[in-house]
């Protein structure tokens, strides 16, 4: 796993909250280990994370979260009922769209010299934070009145928004939600790129 990757962090966080032992293998993105032939056999997209479990290889943080939730988290983290599953998955979609193309990309532009349009990414990121804020103003969790993989998927890049030069001061409900997650037994610290918050 790449320590600074928010997507790899999501997997570490869920495994820790579920108290599931695992072996972590470091991937050095700066040395482009994720682009080497052996790694590309595991994930043809050349991205982190990748999960190997009982001979099964799963790549993409969303797929890995779904796998862990269904295999180890019973109905709590990802229910099988159509309406409940859809409620969780709509937040997973936010994580893969506005958060990904907004806060995640902006963080990479600011800190890792990734090419891209910082202003545009920050607009997407603020849209994601506004959507989260509106939900969290009247709910402790994003879906089903409890923590689910929806919260895990959205949490890292929302919490690390300052790394993308998107301050969190105006997002009171988001900050309270971040604090709730950080207070959970099994919480693991975020992969900060600069200073502490």
Domain chopping of the chain, boundaries: 6-73, 76-182
Cis peptide preceding 18, ω within 30 of 0: no
> Does domain 76-182 match CATH 2.40.50.100?
no
CB 159 within 8 A of CB 124: no
- Report d(CA 28, CA 104) in Å as an integer: 18
pLDDT at 196: 37
Listed as ranges, residues in the chain with pLDDT below 70 are 1-3, 28-37, 39-46, 192-197
Nearest to 23 by CA among 45, 4, 42, 50: 50
- Give counts: helices (H), strands (E), the chain: 9, 2
For residue 172 the two structure tokens come to 């009171």
CATH class of 6-73: alpha beta
For residue 77 the two structure tokens come to 């983290």
pLDDT at 183: 97
Q: Is the pTM of this model over 0.85?
A: yes
pLDDT at 191: 74
Residue 43: which residues within 8 A CB-CB, separation 6 or more? Answer: 34, 50, 57, 59, 60
How far the first Cα of the chain sits from its last, in Å, is 23
> Distance of CA 28 to CAs 1, 36, 48, 115, 191, Å?
8, 11, 10, 20, 14
């Amino acid at each position: 796993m790449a320590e600074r990757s928010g997507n790899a962090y999501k997997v570490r966080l869920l495994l820790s909250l579920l108290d599931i032992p695992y072996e972590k293998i470091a991937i050095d993105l700066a040395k482009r280990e994720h682009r080497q032939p052996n790694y590309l056999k595991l994930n043809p997209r050349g991205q982190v994370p990748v999960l190997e479990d009982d001979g099964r290889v799963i790549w993409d943080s969303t797929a890995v979260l779904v796998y862990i939730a269904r295999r180890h988290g019973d109905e709590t983290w990802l229910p099988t009922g159509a309406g409940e599953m859809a409620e969780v998955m709509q937040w997973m979609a936010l994580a893969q769209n506005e958060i990904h193309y907004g806060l995640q990309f902006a963080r990479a532009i600011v800190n890792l010299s990734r090419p891209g349009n910082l202003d545009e990414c920050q607009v997407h990121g603020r849209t994601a934070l506004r959507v989260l804020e509106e939900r969290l103003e009247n709910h402790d969790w994003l879906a089903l009145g409890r923590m689910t993989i929806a919260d895990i998927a959205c949490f890292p890049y929302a919490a690390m928004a300052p790394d993308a030069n998107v301050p969190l001061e105006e997002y009171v409900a988001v900050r309270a939600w971040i604090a709730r997650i950080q207070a959970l037994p099994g919480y693991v610290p975020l992969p900060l790129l600069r200073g502490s918050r």
